[in-house]
Chain A
């Protein structure tokens, strides 16, 4: 019997979520096929790539230090990052706000965010310091300061979703990220809770958890696959939010990326290892369902952009 293609096109689709305003705005999601299965039906929007810029000037590699050389402030780094051709949005990360670390004040963070908004014309995603309490406050204040910029705050967790949904989503109309750690039941529950607060499902993005390849990544794989299967084949509208996966923050922390060449001479350049770790993890996230990935290294961004372009 001759082979007849059986495209797997669903009647359900992933929500479209637009970040930013004006002609540089980007739209995530929208597809009614599994991620990257453009051969089944054209993807409404290609996967998007964000660049991760921390307020901490420390960089995990020589190449990144070179790239940001001469940039003294978060805004300068963000501007440099945003200027890269394939960057769709800039993710600024307030690592220094951590109360158990530098404990940078919220006022200083807001001032930084404002400076970034002035220096950058691409959409802005704001990531916190992982301290639930501080993040809730930080996201509310940044959301106020960046009104009209249509930013995404990354992200609300089980512990602080109320404050963030109210302070960023309801009060200032910003987009809300819902973060769970490779737990599909919690991912769904958070979406339900945030929508029950009054934030529309169309204004939510999910971070369902992330890991570097080799570091329990199978949980990320299964969570991504099961979320997409529920969203598309079961038309579960509590899981149809696009998925945004921070990859760089995970991959640039593992020894494969950071161990100096002197430690393992056979391993070769740390820069190359770091890039491949980021690229391979990102490719796997996209293969299993991420609608956007957030990366750190310009070479990784270039490569992932080539990959997704080739697949569309």
Chain B
């Protein structure tokens, strides 16, 4: 109701002010160039088109066209300040203006309606897309959380129930497994939590300027806490790169990629992690020298459901969610993320756009 009221009010205001402006302009015009009613009609037609453009519905256009016709007749054609519809050719002017108004207002109204429909359709589409992503994620999460939880519950109860029968070494193995699974769960939870840092409506993140080398080193440090025996060869460009990003999220992406490289490459060869500086973006690379990724997995590896239909789903648990979260994070940063086989193993790399300003390491 209020919306309707305000839209009527808006239409009225636009119509009135449009006509008033046209009239004022026409007066000025006729003052300087008398006896030129053809141009005056054109001025009104221009005003009509503008009014139609900025109002909704047919009504404002039609009303203003009647008013305009009357105005031209009353104010600007001889006899002045008198209505006289018997002038030769006047009915033609009248019909012309009416026709122009009718056609223009029909066209613009149609256009506006179509634009609105398209916008609605887009919104609906992106909504379903989001809904689909959310459902996929939820499904993947429940599947992936259950596996380690089952193992934790099983292992701990077997420890408690058979404690007398187990040798010290066996106990150690059980607890080690519990710890591994718990760590894995923790990483999963942090992944999920990190998604909550991305704005739900706009899918944007809060960016601050961060130094690339600090993010990389922090990720490596955190990773080494969990995997003590791994070697990662890290290198960053010599110049200092400062890039706008959500540091916690990018750290999470790096950790996910590095962890995948450790867990899924089935090799103990050192992992390479390096950063490259390009003219308007920076790329981060994580390279392992292991078994690589099969072609059919590569196609939808970031979709979050790459485990579906996979026979050995338990052996690569969590890879799906971790990577789909990486994709979400990088997309929210307007970057790109990709995976490929480089011949001796797998490589994941993502890019982050630089901002317009980039400082070099000079003080």
Query: Is the A/B pair a real complex?
Result: no
Binding site for B on A (CB under 8 A): none
